[in-house]
């Protein structure tokens, strides 16, 4: 009886350890954060005041590290809002004006002339909506799509 209890306890510990390791790889991207980040710049609006993202179609590969540079050349503030996308990535940091923010990010506000860098590792493949949350901006065309594609084997 004692051997059976010990065997069950060992099995339970192995299952718990396996679950912790599995969750650990999806929550913390391990080797990806040590790799150099691929850089992509997105402009929020234009200097002439056009309401659009340039580019408005973004694609990232799951498991790779990226640095998304957000630049607002326009005369008014804009938002980079993509909550579902943000839920599908591991954010390493957002850096702007000498300040580094860590943790979950769902939306970034950029005032005129502002630049922010968002370093992250995409984890959840899918197609995600992007928009500016200021009233009337999305309706005027300030929308886009972000796709996370699975890593190729």
Is the pTM here over 0.85, yes or no?
A: no
- pLDDT tens per residue across span 70-117: 999 999 999 999 999 999 999 999 999 888 888 888 899 999 999 999
Same domain, 79 and 144: yes
Provide the pLDDT confidence category of residue 152 given band limits of 50, 70 and 90.
Answer: confident
CA 31 – CA 41 distance, rounded (Å): 24
pLDDT exceeds 50 at position 8: no
Same domain, 9 and 55: no
Same domain, 9 and 46: no
Q: Which domain holds residue 1?
A: 1-30
Mean pLDDT computed over 127-145: 98
Beta strands in 6-105, from DSSP E residues, in sequence order: 38-44, 53-54, 57-61, 66-71, 78-81, 89-96, 99-101
Same domain, 84 and 55: yes
Same domain, 74 and 98: yes
Same domain, 142 and 99: yes
What are the Cα distances from residue 112, in Å, to 76, 116, 124, 137, 140? 5, 12, 32, 15, 18
* pLDDT for res 18: 37
- pLDDT tens per residue across span 16-48: 333 333 333 344 556 666 678 899 999 999 999
Domains identified in the chain, total number: 2
């Amino acid at each position: 009886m004692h051997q059976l209890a010990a065997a069950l306890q060992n099995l339970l510990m192995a299952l718990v350890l396996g679950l912790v390791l599995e969750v650990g790889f999806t929550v913390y991207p391990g080797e990806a954060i040590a790799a150099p980040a691929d850089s992509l710049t997105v402009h929020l609006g234009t200097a002439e005041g056009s309401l659009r993202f340039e580019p408005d179609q973004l694609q990232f590969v799951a498991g790779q590290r990226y640095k998304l540079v957000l630049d607002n050349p326009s005369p008014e503030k804009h938002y980079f809002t993509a909550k579902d996308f943000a839920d599908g990535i591991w954010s390493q940091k957002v850096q702007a004006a000498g300040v580094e923010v860590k943790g979950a990010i769902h939306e970034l506000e950029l005032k005129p002339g502002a630049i922010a860098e968002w370093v992250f590792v995409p984890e959840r493949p899918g197609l995600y909506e992007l928009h500016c949350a200021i009233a009337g901006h999305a309706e005027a065309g300030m929308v886009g799509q972000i796709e996370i594609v699975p890593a190729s084997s």
